[in-house]
């Protein structure tokens, strides 16, 4: 861990209220980051290619332009005091163009790592994380060899642009490999062993400019149609699993010289009667499975991210209530009146006019007894 700077020096590096935070991406995560920034006295400037971006409802300044538009990006960079992002597929080359004008937090290294599953897995392995066995696959022949080595069942995933189960195929003994390979259109892939987990969990951790790390408690997640459905706290896992997750998260954030909030996803399996923790993937941003912090903690993941990227001290990641977060996806939004009438529920809506299949419309934080 790097040496801590003198407190007075460190204070000088804090962004002052009234400064402007730039956010690349205009979805609900950008919207909630903008709200948190506003509550802390900052202005925000959201940059997104889509005119109808939900985050535009909550920001002072907007730029509508493609991420590759270097002129627009340079003007954006000149108008803000720090740049952050709300999704991990921001193209890297344009960011390199502005990185000497304005701090980008979290940095480009975290983006490069998370954008490519193979780079990510190699990095996680170097941090000492346990991963499902994996192999690089660039051709049908590679896939044949890799399935022999890894065995069935296994999961073939594109290295880039996969999310919510898209860009991946589960392979079982006897499946037609050439069909699977062409199904992913010959994109560079990784093959990984199928983990027979009994729980999927995640941890939201933040690292400040001075290297301090604060992690929220590990959460238990359920999925519906490959999309996060619920997140529950406490997760009910034993202390040794929680402390292993904390330890590996600290290593990941420190090695990336990370500034901001990160979501780290895990599989928990039981092997020989012992809990075994696998890291699935990392998201270098605020994360859907961290929305529970809005109503389960005094300082939530959005404020924590703004604190970190502004050079402020981190808040205490302490949970004050047992809580369940329920995503409102597509038509789930029709159930909102029931939640509005429930005194133990807090409804968060993203302002999207049209409820499409699989579209995240909002979420509910339900306080449990």
Site residues (vs ligand AMP, CB under 6 A): 132, 155, 162, 165, 192, 194-195, 200, 223, 226, 265, 280-281
Min dist. Cβ of residue 203 to ligand AMP (A): 14
- Contact between 130 and 119 (Cβ < 8 Å): no
Element (H, E) at 240: helix 239-255
Min dist. Cβ of residue 156 to ligand AMP (A): 10
Token couple for 232: 């529950």
Q: Sheet of 82-85: strands edge to edge?
A: 61-64, 43-48, 20-24, 82-85
- Contact between 61 and 122 (Cβ < 8 Å): no
Closest residue to ligand AMP using C-beta atoms: 195
Closer by beta carbon to ligand AMP, 69 or else 122: 122
Q: Residues near 186 by Cβ (< 8 Å), separated by ≥ 6?
A: none
User: Looking at 39-115, which runs of residues are DSSP E strands?
Assistant: 43-48, 61-64, 82-85
Closer by beta carbon to ligand AMP, 193 or else 310: 193
CA 296 to each of CA 145, 159, 216, 286: distance values in angstroms, whole numbers, following the listed order:
47, 35, 10, 16
Min dist. Cβ of residue 167 to ligand AMP (A): 8
Closer by beta carbon to ligand AMP, 32 or else 156: 156
Closer by beta carbon to ligand AMP, 268 or else 297: 268
- Contact between 132 and 192 (Cβ < 8 Å): yes
Closer by beta carbon to ligand AMP, 66 or else 358: 358
Min dist. Cβ of residue 133 to ligand AMP (A): 9
- Contact between 194 and 205 (Cβ < 8 Å): no
Closer by beta carbon to ligand AMP, 66 or else 165: 165
Min dist. Cβ of residue 108 to ligand AMP (A): 22
Min dist. Cβ of residue 288 to ligand AMP (A): 12
Structural Rg of the chain based on CA atoms: 21
Sole residue written with tokens 């590679």: 142
Inter-helix orientation angle 28-39/301-309, to 10°: 70
- Contact between 260 and 105 (Cβ < 8 Å): yes
What SS3 state is found at 304? Answer: helix
Min dist. Cβ of residue 299 to ligand AMP (A): 27
Closer by beta carbon to ligand AMP, 162 or else 188: 162
Min dist. Cβ of residue 113 to ligand AMP (A): 15
Closer by beta carbon to ligand AMP, 31 or else 262: 262
């Amino acid at each position: 861990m790097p040496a801590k700077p003198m407190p007075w020096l460190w204070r000088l590096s804090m962004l002052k209220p009234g400064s402007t935070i730039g956010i690349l991406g205009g979805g609900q995560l950008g919207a909630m980051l903008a709200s948190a920034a506003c509550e802390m006295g900052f202005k925000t400037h959201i940059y997104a290619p889509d005119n109808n971006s939900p985050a535009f409802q909550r920001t002072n300044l907007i730029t509508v332009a493609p991420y590759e538009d270097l002129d627009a990006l340079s003007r954006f960079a000149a108008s803000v005091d720090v740049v952050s992002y709300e999704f991990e597929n921001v193209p890297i080359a344009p960011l390199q163009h502005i990185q000497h004008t304005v701090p980008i937090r979290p940095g480009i290294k975290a983006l490069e790592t998370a954008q490519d599953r193979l780079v990510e897995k190699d990095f996680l392995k170097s941090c000492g994380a346990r991963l499902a066995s994996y192999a690089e696959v660039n051709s049908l022949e590679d896939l044949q060899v890799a399935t022999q080595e890894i065995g069935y069942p296994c999961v073939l995933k594109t290295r880039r642009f996969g999310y919510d189960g898209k860009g991946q195929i589960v392979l079982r003994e006897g499946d037609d490999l050439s069909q699977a390979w062409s199904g992913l259109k010959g994109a560079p892939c990784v093959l990984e062993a199928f983990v027979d987990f009994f729980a999927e969990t995640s941890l939201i951790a933040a690292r400040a400019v001075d290297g301090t790390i604060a992690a929220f408690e590990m959460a238990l997640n359920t999925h519906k149609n490959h999309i996060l459905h619920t997140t529950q706290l406490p997760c009910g896992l034993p202390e040794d699993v929680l402390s292993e997750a904390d330890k590996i998260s600290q290593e990941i954030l420190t090695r990336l010289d990370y500034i901001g909030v990160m979501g780290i996803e895990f599989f928990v399996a039981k092997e020989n009667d012992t809990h075994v923790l696998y890291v699935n993937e990392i998201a270098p941003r605020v994360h859907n499975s961290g929305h529970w912090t809005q109503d389960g903690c005094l300082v939530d993941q959005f404020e924590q991210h703004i604190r970190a990227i502004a050079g402020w001290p981190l808040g205490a990641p302490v949970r004050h209530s047992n809580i369940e977060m329920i995503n409102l996806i597509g038509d789930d939004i029709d159930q909102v009146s029931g939640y509005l009438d429930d005194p133990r529920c807090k409804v968060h809506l993203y302002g999207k006019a049209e409820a499409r299949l699989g579209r995240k419309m909002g979420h509910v934080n339900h306080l449990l007894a």
